[in-house]
Chains A and B, each alone.
Chain A
Amino acid sequence: MTTGKKFDAEAYVDAALPMLSFAVDPAWRPSILANFRRTAEIAEAFLAFPLDDAEEPAPVYAP
C-alpha cells in the first residue's frame, strides 16, 4: 500500500474537510488535524504490511 511518498496529513485534511456535507467550525481544525494525523501514523502499521491478493476483507465476519 505504501510507495515511499510521505503522506501529508495537513494538506489532506485541508483538502478533505470542505468536502464534508456540513460546515466545520474553523476552531475545531487543530483538534481534527491532530486526530487525523494520529490515525495516519497508526494506520502505517498495517498499510505497510504486504497482503496477498487473495486476502479478502472481513466486513461480515464469522469467527
Chain B
Amino acid sequence: MSAARDLLLGESPAGRIAAAVRGGIVSARAVAEAALAEIDARDGALNAFTAVTRQRALAEAGAADAARAAGRDPGALAGVPYAVKNLVDIAGLPTLAGSRINRDRPPSVHDGAVIARLRRAGAVLVGALNMGEYAYDFTGENVHDGPSRNPRDPTRMSGGSSGGSGTAVAAGFVPISVGSDTNGSIRVPSSLCGIFGLKPTFGRVSRAGSFPFVASLDHLGPFARSATDLALAYDALQGHDPADPVSADRPAEPAAPALEQGAAGLRIAVADGYFARGGLPEAHAAVETAARALGATRRVTIEEAHRARAAAYVITAAEGANLHLPRLAARAADFDPATRDRFIAGALIPAAWYVQAQRFRRWYRDRVVALFRDVDVILAPATPVTAPKLGQETMVLDGVTLAVRANLGIFTQPLSFIGLPVAVAPLPTPGGLPIGVQIIAAPWQESAALRVVHELERRGIAGAPAAI
C-alpha cells in the first residue's frame, strides 16, 4: 500500500494527511490520486458519488503542493480529500439535490460557501454525493440514482438524507464530507454508517450556495471518522456569511484547540422520558455505555419533545411544499412519487397549523435552553435502530409496527427543531452494526459536544470501524 493510501484509510485521516502534506512527507496529489483510485475501485458497489470531480481534485491538490513548495501555508486541511452532498453548488455542475428535475438546471457558476471555505483551508474536492430526493428522506434511498449503500453491510441503508455523505466517509473514500440536516439528515447516516457527525448550531455554518429544503430548519455540517477530524472540518466550515440570511453574526469559535480538555469540568446528563424509550434496546444501551464511561449519572427531562417532533414535521411539510410548488405544477411526474405526494399534502396544510408550530417552537426553545443552566451536555440516542435493510418499509419498536422512513428521526427531530448543536459518536452493538449517540449542547457550544466526543473516542467507547 502506498503511504498516501495508508493515510487515507487509516485512523483520523484528515489530520494526519494535512500534517503529512504540510510536512512534505506526502504530496497532496498522491493523496488525491489514492482517493480517486478508491472511488474507482469500490464505489460501483456502494453508490456514494453522483459525480467525481477528477480534474478539479488534481488541480486543487497541485495548488496545495505548489503552495507548500513556495513556502506558503497550504492550509489546515492541506491536501485532505472531501466531497459534498449534491445539494451544494459545485461550479460547472448542476445542483441535483437528489432530483431528476434539477438535472436540467444550468451548471452552477460559483461554488457553495462551504466549498469556498474548505478550499481556502487547502482541502481537495473529489465529488458530489448521493442523497434522498430534495432531502425529504431518512433512508439514503433514491429512485433516480439508486441507494447509497452502507459500507458496514451493503444490503443495508446508509441513512438519509445525506446518505452518500455517510457512505463516502465510512468507506474511506474521503476523510471528510459535508451534508445537510433539517430533521436529522447528518445524524441518522452517522449513526447507521458508524461515523462521527456534527449538526452545528442553526446559523453557525453558511448555507449560501446550497439547494434549500426548509428554510427554518436547514443546517449544513461535517462527517468524519474521528473527533479530531470532525473538529478540523467544523473549524474550517464555521463563520459568519452575510449571503445566508440566518447566518449568525458572531466570531468563529474554533473547537479543535479545546478537544484535548476532553470531558473534564463538563456537567453531563442523560435525557430521560421521550429519549429513554421508543428505540431498540441497543439504541438505549449505547447511551448508557457512554454515560457510564463519562461518569454521568444525572438525568434531565426535555419536556414536550413529542410535540416538538410534531411541530418540526409540520414546518417541514409546509415550507418544503411551498418551495417546490412551481416544480409540482410543471413537472410533478418527474418527482419520486413518494416525495411528490408528501409535498402536495404539505401544500394543503392550514396556515394556522404552521404558525402554531412556529409559536410552539419559541416556547419549546425557551424551556430546553433553560436546562443548560444546570448541565453542559445531554446524551440521547441518535436513531432508534441500527441500519435497516434497503427497501425495508416497517420496523417494530416497543411492539408497535412503524414506518421506517418516518421514524428513523424520532430522536433527532426534536433537537434540530430548535437549532441546538448536536454531535454523533458511533458505538458498536452486540449485533455487529454501529449505532450513534447524540451529544447535545447549548446553542453555540459545539466545542463542549466535540470535547465529549473526543473523550468517548480516546476511552475506546466510540470509534468508527475500519474503512475497509
Q: Which residues of A contact B (CB under 8 A)?
A: 1, 12-13, 16-17, 20-22, 24-25, 28, 31-36, 38-39, 42-47, 49, 51, 55-63
Contact = CB atoms under 8 A, between A and B. Distances in A.
Tell me if B's interface is mostly helix, strand, loop or mixed. helix
A36 B353 CA distance: 13
11 contacts: A17-B344, A22-B329, A35-B342, A39-B313, A39-B346, A42-B309, A42-B310, A51-B359, A61-B216, A61-B246, A61-B361
Contact of A49 (B248, B307, B346, B352): B307
Interface string B328-340: 1110100001101
A28 B341 contact: yes
Contact of A63 (B307, B313, B406, B418): B418
The 10 lowest CB-CB distance pairs between A and B, nearest first, are A35-B345, A57-B358, A45-B310, A22-B329, A63-B443, A31-B341, A63-B419, A36-B345, A58-B362, A46-B307
B420 interface: yes
Contact of A31 (B245, B337, B365): B337
Contacts of A56: 359, 362
A13 B348 CA distance: 7
Given A12-B348, A31-B341, A51-B356, A58 B313 contact: no
A13 to B, nearest CB: 6
Given A39-B313, A42-B313, A63-B201, A49 B360 contact: yes
B311 interface: yes
B203 A45 contact: no
Given A39-B349, A61-B216, A63-B443, A20 B344 contact: yes
A62 B216 CA distance: 11
A35 B341 contact: yes
Contacts of A24: 332, 344
Contacts of B306: 45
B307 A28 contact: no
B348 A47 contact: no
B342 A57 contact: no
B59 to A, nearest CB: 39
Contact of A46 (B345, B349, B360, B443): B360
B412 to A, nearest CB: 16
Given A16-B348, A57-B355, A58-B365, 11 more contacts: A17-B344, A20-B344, A31-B341, A32-B348, A35-B342, A45-B310, A47-B353, A57-B362, A58-B358, A58-B361, A59-B358
Contacts of A36: 345, 348
A38 to B, nearest CB: 8
Nearest to A52: B363
